Structure 1
Amino acid sequence: MNHLDSCRLSQDSEPDSKARLYDQRFARYTTAMRNEMPDRVPIRPFVAEFTGVYAGYTCQDLTHSYENAFDAACQCAAGFDWDAVVANMVYVWTGLAQSIGLKYYAIPGIDIPAETGFQYREPKQEDAFMKADEYDALIEDPTGFLYNVWLPRVADQITPIGQASTTDNNLAMVKTGMAMMQYFNAFGPQVDRLRAECGTVSAIAGILKAPMDILADKLRGYLGLVDDLFERPEKVLAACEALAPHLAHVAKMTGDPSRNVPVTIWMHRGGVPFVSPKIFKEIYWATLKPIIQDLWSEGLQTLFYAEGNWDFHLESFAELPDRSIVYHVDQGDIFKTRDVLGDKFCLSGGVANTLLSMGTPEEIRGRCKEIIDGVAKEGGYIMDASAIVQNDATVDRMRILTEATLEYGVYSRGHSTPPATSGGPKPLPEDAKPGTFLSPPPKGKLQPGECYPWEKKRAEIGEIQGDEAICRKTWQDIDALGNMFIWQLLLSF
């Protein structure tokens, strides 16, 4: 690989330069995600609180105002030669978290210092948001359980079912529902701003977590789940199976409609050493793999953000269809990952965050070159830090990572470089079979996207004097908003 000064496309000064810059970056990014060779290694850092370091905002500024967080992301995108960024990586907007009184976040500027990123506070095992004897209720009706049991326990403004409602309860539900709509509706203009002002691609769309990670993160807590895996494993498996179609539905509804950028799964506590290989295979992977296959059958690629070290499970991930995922390396061995997964999937990451906060220029440049030479030679690699970049990283060190990639990451075959082509990967015919990988809930139970089924409402209405199809569509469209609210609260906040 040779350094070509012409790759510094951001220096173009013609009136349509941003549009052409975006097209070039989009082609570069999506070509790599197809596990093919673009003109150079794309750069896609998952910058979170670092955006505040660059733009002059505190962690409190970013979490209390998503407008500040959007602005900081755009300033970073404009100030660095990056191909893609996340529209807002500081995802916990405290306006929403406080409107309903979420108990599990420590908020910058209130619970913790203004310069400290938001913190997740897992309750004590005896105070878990779901009790050990409540698996049957979750399995029977996951959406109902979230509304009736989980929500009043995680939100101090919400009155438990059976108690008299309060003004605070009613206000919290109205304010939080409107806040969520306001927040998510703001992402469209933010994506457009990144494109028009910065020529930068919005890196991801949509959200997913593994069913067992949901149990560990937001329901039973890790210690409670560990007990359950030994004392009632059949209940854990049944709960994961019950959650799976609903989680897949949220991923599809929030994913990129054009199927070009991936849904991201945040992988937490479902692998070795948190659980045994047997539990991983029989519960975690058994209920996650069908979700990934189901998404891919509809053309949705998944970015496996493998937080921690998942090297023990690389052979399992290799079971997935070619190009169905992008695999992000955090603490794992990126060269081992290349050997096992590199022929099948695009890889990203591998530059330790400690280098971006304490490393010397030589160390950062050396690591970038090592990865590019050892992993990216045939394409299918995206430059990124190992983990989400917070406010311990420095601007100078992020510039070194960027400049090293621009220097070492240019592809050349003789005197010509093949042009990158645009568009995310597409499944092969044998994989493009929606409905064959993930079973829906049994008939008679709430389906993904439902809170109050039309059949039940139809029975209450009686005679309909006009077009029933119009009535049904209107009811189902609004009912789906109620479903999306509770599942997004579970997954995104």
Structure 2
Amino acid sequence: MATVAELYNERLNRIKKAVALEKPDRVPIVPLGDSFCARHLGIKLSEFCAHPELSNETMLKSFTSLGQVDGIQHIAFNPNLLSTIWLSKVKFPGKELEDDELWQVEEAELMKIEDYDVIIDKGFDYFLNDFYLNRLDNLGERLQPFYAAFPGAFKATADLGIVPFSPVIVTIPYEMLCGARSMVVFLKDLFRIPDKVQAAMDASMPWILENARQLCRTMKPIALWVGGWRAASEFLSPKLWQRFVFPYYQQLVEAVAAEGVIPVLHFDSNWTRDLSFLLQLPKAKCVFSPDGTTDIFKAKEILGDHMCIMGDVHASMLTLGTPEEVHAYCRRLIREIGPTGFILAQGCDTPPNAKPENVKAMIDAVKD
């Protein structure tokens, strides 16, 4: 019988082979779940969000009770993390919301138009520190308990032989500024003051790149998310997307890959139109992780010889489908997207009302 260390290394090797476009002994399964895990085990979301150690424990218990996973994408959760990528306030269960109500990102114009000049003139770090303190209610201090618990979550996950795959999130200026300005106002900025927006983005990148490098060096993750949500192709014309989105992703992905860490392109919404641009990213170093909206079969056609693909069991299927339907779709993914260069997972996140038997069917599908 394999030791925990041997099991961990077996699973890690399986994942790394998939990323390198090699054929592993079987397709790896690396799910993500936060609110689902809490609901599955009857943990109130207010408790789950308030205690990072509990969130880690809950994720591990939930997934290991449903089958044998090779890794999990996130190892603990706190809704404040969403504020770091969208610079928006978040309503918490047990505070602004009922105890078991899902957290909510508030869409509000917290950043003013003159803040672009602050970023350009004083630097993104100056702007961000002031923004965290004065407009996000001292976000840095509120995240300290989560960061303090993170090493323990890493160890607890690895001690079960499970790979903590991509527990860290970074993103590009577009996502952060869009959240801070609010989406409608920011999109207007792209037309009214495009040069100023680009100047602020360019001024932000040195800090974003150095922050990503330091995260890679201090935390030493196997992979991290390079997230994309509002920057998806379906929201912008090609001209705007090619100016304000892709060049910044390319810089960030290359910086992460240069540190020996796998960039996981966690791209929600529909990116089908611009999949060919991803061929400019480092070959056999990245993972493309769509949420079920992008055509994953088209992604295989375009990217299959260039980067690993992860996904994309749809939220609707996990919630409304049957175990038989989930199993059949997973087998199709393994057959048509894999078996090389593929990691099985849900699309984006496992929804809170997913049926446990459907999640189990997804996990078990890799064993057939």
Shift in Å, 1:67: 1.9
Return the alpha-carbon distance in structure 2 between the equivalents of residues 83 and 395 of structure 1.
Answer: 18
The answer to whether structure 1 residue 289 and structure 2 residue 250 are counterparts is yes
Pairing partner for 2:268 from 294, 307, 310: 307
Counterpart residue identity of residue 136, structure 1: D
2:18 and 2:182 map into 1 onto residues whose CA distance is: 37
Matches for 1:209-288 after TM superposition, within 5 Å: 209-217=171-179, 219-255=180-216, 261-288=222-249
Paired residues of 1:206 and 1:251 also in contact (CA < 8 A): no
Equivalent residue, structure 2, for 1:191: 154
Q: Secondary structure at the match of 2:266?
A: strand
Q: Are the equivalent residues in 2 in contact too, given 1:207–1:255 (CA < 8 A)?
A: no
2:366 partner letter: T
The residue type equivalent to 1:139 in the other structure is: I
Number of residues of Structure 1 aligned to a counterpart in Structure 2:
362
Any gaps of 5 or more consecutive residues in structure 1? 1-13, 156-171, 408-493
1:62 deviates by 0.8
Give the distance between the partners of 1:200 and 1:332, measured in 2 at CA: 28
RMSD over aligned Cα, in angstroms?
2.3
TM-score (norm 1): 0.69
Residue in 2 aligned with 1:145? 127
Is 2:28 the counterpart of 1:42?
A: yes
Contact 1:209/1:265 (<8 A) preserved: yes
Q: Which residue of 2 aligns with 1:370?
A: 332
C-alpha deviation, 1:260, in angstroms: 6.3
Deviation at 1:298, TM superposition (A): 2.9
Deviations 1:182-203 (A, max 9, x none): 421321121111122x211101
CA–CA separation in structure 1 for the residues paired with 2:177 and 2:74: 28
Structure 2: stretches of 5+ with no match in the other structure: none
SS of corresponding position for 1:384? strand
TM-score by length of 2: 0.92
Q: Which residue in the other structure is 1:208 paired with?
A: 170
- State the alpha-carbon separation in 2 of the partners of residues 212 and 344 from structure 1: 25
Aligned 8 A contact 1:215 1:225 in 2? yes
1:405/1:81 CA distance change after superposition, 3 Å = same
Give percent identity, aligned residues only. 24
The 5 A counterparts of 1:340-419 are 340-377=302-339, 379-407=340-368
CA change 1:30–1:240 in 2 (3 A) is same
Report the AA paired with residue 302 of structure 2: V
Q: CA 1:373–1:86 in structure 2 vs 1: closer, same or farther (change >3 Å)?
A: closer
Q: Is 2:68 the partner of 1:86? A: no
Matched, 1:69 2:30: no
* Amino acid paired to 2:147: F
In the superposition, relative to structure 1, how do residues 182 and 116 fare at CA in structure 2: closer, same or farther (>3 Å)?
Answer: closer
Which of 102, 106, 109 does residue 91 from structure 2 map onto?
106
Distance in 2 (CA, whole Å) between partners of 1:258 and 1:68 is 21
Residue matched to 1:5: none
* Structure 2 equivalent of residue 32 of structure 1: 18
Compared CA separation, residues 252 and 77, structure 1 to 2 (3 A): farther
